């Protein structure tokens, strides 16, 4: 099968070459799968059964942990393990008797087994803390403290439905916060500061103007710099990425917002975007207590009130947003109303609240 792909030194090898033999033999012939217990799936095909043990990961893994996982894969899985799109680690084996041995060793090493069925999946987060310019908070730190609090939800699968939580450290949002059950996003709340002299000396004005997604930047030829339209700016920080003379980070005002109700899948109801429920929580490193408490409360209220099978957004849609704010005790403010006044003065896309 793989011979049709030319060997090159560009990119990874073709995925088929890296599949366990049993998966290659069952490729495109799978018949059914079932969940054996939390964290374990069995997939059946004509070439035999494959057992998958799913393990939660903190996403940033040390070389030591990776070597340990590789060793476990050598021992029980003919050298194979894989990462899911949500950064869980999966061990695949055709031998049923290996399943409990893998679980025992993984738990002894200190990682949780779970994340299958109606459970909390491994949290997704972006990486602004490591490399990015526009981050308004620490992605890895906030995600760790939230996951620490929700750890047990990963290991149980008795939630109303699956629960996906995502984090992005700025509005540019290279994660999945627009379509997750619960999301938290780093936000700036003040305009970039225009350091005219440095802009003139170090930034390309056309590039800078083009970097703004809402057209808020205009050239200022007198100063060989730019001006920013305060009404239009949404504090995304994209301009700072192309011009360091427009710093936007502000420790006193940056923080996080929380969204709920998004999903990608087309099951039951179509995909939906996440919606804002908490406009601002301050940055409170190292443990972000207000953020953690609020997300835990949002999970608990959903677990307590949703019907079996209802994803977060489906639950809110059934009970109505008014009831959601009542049950959660969150404050409803003008910030919750979509109101793009800079483009159309009177446009409101959500006018039917009954408060």
**Applying CB under 6 A, which part among 93-101, 198-206, 234-242, 285-293 lies near ligand SF4?**
234-242
Distance of closest approach, residue 116 Cβ to ligand SF4, in angstroms = 28
Rounded distance between C-alpha atoms, residue 276 and residue 90, angstroms:
33
Binding test (CB under 6 A) with ligand SF4, winner from 72, 124, 150, 169: 169
Work out whether 176 is an interface residue with ligand SF4 (CB under 6 A). Answer: no
Work out whether 72 is an interface residue with ligand SF4 (CB under 6 A). Answer: no
Distance of closest approach, residue 171 Cβ to ligand SF4, in angstroms = 7
Q: Are 207 and 225 in contact (CB under 8 A)?
A: no
Site residues (CB under 6 A) for ligand SF4, limited to 235-264: 235-239, 248
Binding test (CB under 6 A) with ligand SF4, winner from 42, 103, 234, 301: 234
Distance of closest approach, residue 181 Cβ to ligand SF4, in angstroms = 19
Rounded distance between C-alpha atoms, residue 155 and residue 55, angstroms:
9
Mark residues 130-159: x for contact with ligand SF4 by CB under 6 A, - for none.
Answer: --x-xx---x--------------------
Name the residue nearer to ligand SF4 (CB basis): 72 or 187.
187
Rounded distance between C-alpha atoms, residue 98 and residue 53, angstroms:
10
**Applying CB under 6 A, which part among 98-106, 207-215, 317-325, 326-334 lies near ligand SF4?**
207-215
**Closest listed residue to residue 162, CA positions, set 315, 8, 347:** 315
Work out whether 170 is an interface residue with ligand SF4 (CB under 6 A). Answer: yes
**For helices 139-155 and 289-305, angle between their N-to-C axes, nearest 10 degrees:** 30
Binding test (CB under 6 A) with ligand SF4, winner from 127, 220, 290, 305: 127
Rounded distance between C-alpha atoms, residue 215 and residue 195, angstroms:
19
Q: Are 119 and 159 in contact (CB under 8 A)?
A: yes
Work out whether 165 is an interface residue with ligand SF4 (CB under 6 A). Answer: no
**Applying CB under 6 A, which part among 10-18, 127-135, 313-321, 327-335 lies near ligand SF4?**
127-135
- Chain-centroid distance, C-alpha 178: 9
- Scan for tokens 């700072």, then name that residue: 240
Q: Are 94 and 22 in contact (CB under 8 A)?
A: yes
Helix (H) or strand (E) holding 163: strand 158-163
- Scan for tokens 């627009």, then name that residue: 178
Work out whether 128 is an interface residue with ligand SF4 (CB under 6 A). Answer: yes
Q: Are 83 and 58 in contact (CB under 8 A)?
A: no
Binding test (CB under 6 A) with ligand SF4, winner from 217, 291, 295, 306: 217
The pair of three-digit structure tokens given for residue 318, joined into one six-digit string: 């059934």
- The site that binds ligand SF4 (CB under 6 A) totals a number of residues, namely 28
Q: Can you name the residues that pair with 185 across neighbouring β-strands?
A: 168, 257
Rounded distance between C-alpha atoms, residue 226 and residue 247, angstroms:
13
Work out whether 216 is an interface residue with ligand SF4 (CB under 6 A). Answer: yes
Distance of closest approach, residue 169 Cβ to ligand SF4, in angstroms = 4
Work out whether 225 is an interface residue with ligand SF4 (CB under 6 A). Answer: no
The pair of three-digit structure tokens given for residue 99, joined into one six-digit string: 């399943």
Q: Are 171 and 185 in contact (CB under 8 A)?
A: yes
Tell me how crowded residue 353 is: count the other CB atoms within 10 A of its CB. Answer: 13
Tell me how crowded residue 220 is: count the other CB atoms within 10 A of its CB. Answer: 16
Binding test (CB under 6 A) with ligand SF4, winner from 52, 122, 211, 328: 211
Name the residue nearer to ligand SF4 (CB basis): 102 or 245.
245
Binding test (CB under 6 A) with ligand SF4, winner from 168, 199, 257, 278: 168
Rounded distance between C-alpha atoms, residue 219 and residue 215, angstroms:
11
Work out whether 167 is an interface residue with ligand SF4 (CB under 6 A). Answer: no
Distance of closest approach, residue 225 Cβ to ligand SF4, in angstroms = 13
Which residues of this chain interact with ligand SF4, rule CB under 6 A? 126-128, 132, 134-135, 139, 168-170, 172-174, 192, 211-212, 214, 216-217, 228, 233-239, 248
């Amino acid at each position: 099968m793989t011979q049709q792909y030319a060997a090159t030194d560009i990119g990874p090898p073709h995925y088929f070459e890296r599949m366990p033999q049993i998966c290659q033999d069952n490729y495109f012939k799978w018949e059914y799968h079932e969940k054996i217990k939390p964290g374990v799936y069995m997939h059946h095909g004509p070439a035999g059964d494959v057992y998958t043990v799913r393990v939660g990961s903190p996403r940033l893994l040390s070389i030591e942990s990776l070597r340990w996982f590789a060793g476990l894969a050598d021992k029980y899985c003919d050298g194979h393990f894989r990462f899911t799109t949500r950064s869980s680690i999966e061990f695949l084996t055709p031998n049923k008797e290996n399943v409990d041995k893998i679980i025992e060793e993984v738990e002894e090493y200190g990682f949780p087994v779970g994340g299958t069925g109606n459970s909390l999946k491994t949290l997704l987060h972006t990486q602004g803390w490591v490399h990015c310019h526009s981050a308004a908070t620490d992605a890895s730190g906030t995600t760790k403290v939230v996951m620490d609090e929700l750890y047990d939800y990963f290991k149980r699968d008795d939630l109303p439905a699956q629960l996906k939580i995502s984090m992005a450290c700025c509005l540019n949002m290279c994660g999945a916060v627009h379509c997750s059950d619960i999301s938290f996003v780093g936000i700036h709340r003040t305009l970039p500061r225009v350091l005219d002299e440095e802009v003139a000396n170090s930034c390309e004005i056309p590039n800078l103007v083009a970097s703004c997604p809402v057209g808020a930047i205009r050239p200022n030829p007198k100063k060989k710099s730019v001006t920013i339209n305060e009404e239009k700016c949404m504090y995304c920080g994209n301009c700072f990425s192309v011009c360091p003379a427009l710093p936007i980070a502000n420790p006193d005002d940056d923080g996080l917002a929380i969204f709920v109700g998004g999903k990608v899948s087309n099951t039951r109801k179509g995909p939906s975007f996440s919606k804002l429920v908490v406009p601002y929580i301050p940055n409170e490193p190292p443990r972000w207590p207000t953020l953690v408490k609020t997300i835990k409360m949002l999970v608990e209220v959903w677990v307590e009130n949703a019907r079996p099978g209802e994803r977060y957004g489906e639950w809110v849609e059934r009970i109505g947003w008014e009831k959601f704010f009542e049950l959660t005790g969150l404050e409803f403010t003008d910030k919750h109303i979509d109101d793009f006044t800079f483009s159309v003065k009177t446009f409101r896309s959500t006018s039917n609240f009954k408060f």
